Amino acid sequence: MTSDKTVGYSVVLVTAGSVQEAEAIASALVEAKLAACVSLFPIHSIYRWKGELHKQQEWQLLIKTDNRQFSSLEAKIRELHSYEEPEIIALPILAGSLPYLQWMKQQVMPSP
């Protein structure tokens, strides 16, 4: 594990209500070079929304990206997401494999 220049990378968490919505968001982010990779997981969420307790099957998107892309990534998620207030939380990558981080950087580099 290497911690070389990882400050600029993060994993962004987003939940979606269906696998179709999760896949559509993931594909759009990767195609737009806003994310290097998006992993999808089925989850069961319990949360309070507008004063009511909800228990719901959702899909967790684990989005690997460069922090410089966050504003554009957030805008694209909001454009495509069906939730009134989607979860969009960036967690910094504190350490990682240097070859993987270099691959991430190549995937999210803005086109010239």
- pLDDT for 109 equals 74
Query: Is the full-model pTM beyond 0.85?
Result: yes
Contact partners, residue 58, CB within 8 Å, separation at least 6: 15, 16, 17, 42, 43, 44, 45
Query: Does the residue 20 lie in any domain?
Result: yes
Residue 49 belongs to what domain range? 9-107
- The neighbour count for residue 37, using CB atoms within 10 Å, is 17
**What CATH number is associated with residue 16?**
3.30.70.120
Q: At what angle do helices 19-31 and 70-80 cross, to 10 degrees?
A: 140
The DSSP output letter for 2 is: B
Helix, strand or coil, per DSSP, at residue 70: helix
Query: Does the residue 2 lie in any domain?
Result: no
pLDDT at residue 105 tops 80? yes
Number of domains forming the structure of the chain: 1
Query: Does the residue 55 lie in any domain?
Result: yes
Query: Does the residue 1 lie in any domain?
Result: no
- pLDDT for 111 equals 60
In this predicted model, what pLDDT tens digit does every residue of 7-66 receive, in sequence order? 589 999 999 999 999 999 999 999 999 999 999 999 999 999 999 999 999 999 999 999
Any idea how long the chain is? Answer: 112
